[in-house]
Structure 1
Amino acid sequence: MTSSTSSPVSMPTLRLLSLGAGAQSTAVLLLACEGEIPKFDYALFADTGWEPRAVYANLNRLRIVAESSGIPIRRVSAGNIRTDALDPRHRFVSMPLHTLNPDGSRGLARRQCTNEYKITPLKKAARELLVYPHPRRVPRGVYAEQAIGISTDEFTRAKDSGLRFLRNVFPLIELGLDRAGCLDYLAERGFANTVKSACVGCPFHGNAGWRWIRDNDPDGWIEAVEFDKAVRHGHPRATAQGRPLRGQYFLHRSCVPLDQVDLDALAGRERHLTSVAVHPPEDADPDGCSPWSCRSGASVDTEAAA
């Protein structure tokens, strides 16, 4: 642990890594293990409870590598986003579900999931590791530096935490590494199959993301299809209280039931149009989920999380 100082530019009391176990944050962790960047006191995995099986498998591999380098990985959680959403006794945390209104217009439900299941547990863990759990006031000059795996090609997603005791830093941007560079680096170290970190049922998946889940995580695909059907007319708690949704909810952006979407149509077309370098918008998959920056590209309002 790094000691705090009373100098004008104080050193962080702790160095933390927000570990999503996707490509970029995995690269950051391995860079620290190799001494290319300062070592972390802890790597924190904010577990939504509904990551692809491949992400959890990668996390288990990383735990062995990290702990052998003196970096403990801690799993922090506010619950299981899928089971919580389907539990009529549980407060529903709004997900950015695609909405089809009675008049045929479409929209997007309010997004609270990143704040509730990522930021809140990370903030709580940082306070506890600083030994100033809520509601104790964190003294001025005492703070944790938190590394986020944002690469140069997504620099617009690099956001401040908005919290005095938690300062975000972006090692990949400082090193000039983009996602492709991270993937090359991971491949050289035996982590070539690292996938993006995002909930199985994230409504921001493009067709490419849904295809990957269907083809590589069959249990996750079944869960997503069942979830899509379960929330069609609103979340269970509201329905149980006699407040059904006026329209309909969908996981897929087309507002078509997930198991009825033709996820292969564009993929087949791409195989015949290899000169096209960019995926069509409806097929492209956004970057992985990251605290303070949703896959939608929008920043997360941390006022409520302060």
Structure 2
Amino acid sequence: MSAPTEPSGRYLSLGAGIQSTTCLLLAIQGKIPPFDATIFADTGWEPAAVYTHLDRLERLAAAAGIPVVRVGVGDIRVDALDPAHRFASMPLFTLGPNGEHGMARRQCTAEYKIKPIKAEVRRRLGYPYPQRIPAGVFVEMAIGISVDEVHRARDADVAYMRNTFPLLDLGWRRSDCVTYLAEHGLGSTPRSACIGCPYHTDAEWARLREQNPAEWADAVAFDAAIRHGSARANADGHPLRGQFFLHRQRVPLDVVRLRPQSAEEADAPGCGPWTCPHANEQAPVAAIEADGAGLSVREVA
């Protein structure tokens, strides 16, 4: 029997930001082919505005027969501070004992976004892990990447998903998406990223502090809680030799001096499962080393 050549399903990776919301609205309005479902990977620590927006999208999509499926593996904030939970490293800024600057490795996107989406696709195909998916069985996964971010478009890393890019096919830029959403009552679409994402620009931190004091306080508390390493490592008697910070200045978040940002930085894209704007940055990575007496941070290229 020959392998299938048509996709077994057509899905949208919904980050709930500008571009993915545009893709969903285009499908709802019949301007692009419909999706069998849209999949939102919930880290558990999105701003309240994102969850409000997601509720609105669910209602709009349901009227068009497109379910919005929320998937997840836990709450990234709770898990990071749980001594019994494995720590999926966030790209935290590090300060070594001798002033070395580095960054922790970014595992959070793979763990809290990509992993649950792949699990949902496997479930819908009928081959949950660790079952082998037959050759030729695949789904199309639409990803909201616009022309000005074309360098982020890439093939899927598994054979059972084939990425598609509706906005590239239309030749749309992010500004086209912003205009389109505003014309259809979705001009308030928020940026999707964890409340305490270390990749926030100063403009984003300032907006959080000024407009959402409760979420700012949440980020400040988390920043203090992770200063000396993960809760699990500390519980195991392996404190970090060095310090973790949410802000690149490597000082406590509540005393950071936020600097003016350019218009481009102030309107930075959000963090989607396959569209993190910092995925290709070559920043120094902090090596977290165990030497029998604790954990230390050193800078590596």
Q: Same fold (TM over 0.5)?
A: yes
Measured after TM superposition, the shift of residue 175 of structure 1 is 0.7
Q: In the alignment, does 2:7 pair up with 1:12?
A: yes
Instruction: Tell me the C-alpha RMSD between the 2 structures.
Output: 1.8
Task: Quote the Cα distance in structure 2 between the aligned partners of 1:278 and 1:228.
Answer: 26
Task: Quote the Cα distance in structure 2 between the aligned partners of 1:91 and 1:194.
Answer: 33
Task: Quote the Cα distance in structure 2 between the aligned partners of 1:55 and 1:293.
Answer: 17
Is the Cα–Cα contact under 8 Å of residues 45 and 195 in structure 2 kept in the other structure?
Answer: yes
Structure 1 unaligned residues grouped into runs of 5+: 271-276, 300-306
Is the Cα–Cα contact under 8 Å of residues 3 and 137 in structure 2 kept in the other structure?
Answer: no
Give the SS at the match of 1:212.
helix
Match for residue 212 of structure 1 among 204, 207, 210: 207
Instruction: Name whichever of 21-30 and 131-140 sits farther off.
Output: 131-140
* Amino acid corresponding to residue 167 of structure 2 in structure 1: L
Measured after TM superposition, the shift of residue 105 of structure 1 is 1.8
Q: In the alignment, does 2:53 pair up with 1:58?
A: yes
Structure 2 unaligned residues grouped into runs of 5+: 282-301
Which residue of the partner structure matches residue 295 of structure 1? 277
Give the SS at the match of 1:27.
helix
Q: Which runs of 4+ in 1 moved over 6 A?
A: none
Task: Quote the Cα distance in structure 2 between the aligned partners of 1:250 and 1:33.
Answer: 41
Measured after TM superposition, the shift of residue 285 of structure 1 is 6.2
Is the Cα–Cα contact under 8 Å of residues 191 and 269 in structure 2 kept in the other structure?
Answer: yes
Q: In the alignment, does 2:257 pair up with 1:262?
A: yes
Is the Cα–Cα contact under 8 Å of residues 205 and 285 in structure 1 kept in the other structure?
Answer: no
Which residue of the partner structure matches residue 178 of structure 1? 173
Q: In the alignment, does 2:23 pair up with 1:28?
A: yes
Q: In the alignment, does 2:128 pair up with 1:133?
A: yes
Q: For residues 152-198 of structure 1, give each alpha carbon's deviation from its aligned partner in whole angstroms, at most 9, with x where no partner exists.
A: 11111112221000111111111111111100000001010111111
* Amino acid corresponding to residue 240 of structure 1 in structure 2: A
Q: For residues 53-88 of structure 1, give each alpha carbon's deviation from its aligned partner in whole angstroms, at most 9, with x where no partner exists.
A: 111110000000001001001100010000000101
Which residue of the partner structure matches residue 273 of structure 1? none
% identical equivalent positions: 56
Match for residue 37 of structure 1 among 32, 42, 56: 32
Q: Would you say how many aligned residue pairs link Structure 1 and Structure 2?
A: 281
* Amino acid corresponding to residue 266 of structure 1 in structure 2: P
Task: Quote the Cα distance in structure 2 between the aligned partners of 1:259 and 1:128.
Answer: 43
When the two structures are superposed, what TM-score results if normalisation uses the length of structure 2? 0.89
Task: Quote the Cα distance in structure 2 between the aligned partners of 1:241 and 1:12.
Answer: 47
Q: In the alignment, does 2:149 pair up with 1:154?
A: yes
Which residue of the partner structure matches residue 289 of structure 2? none
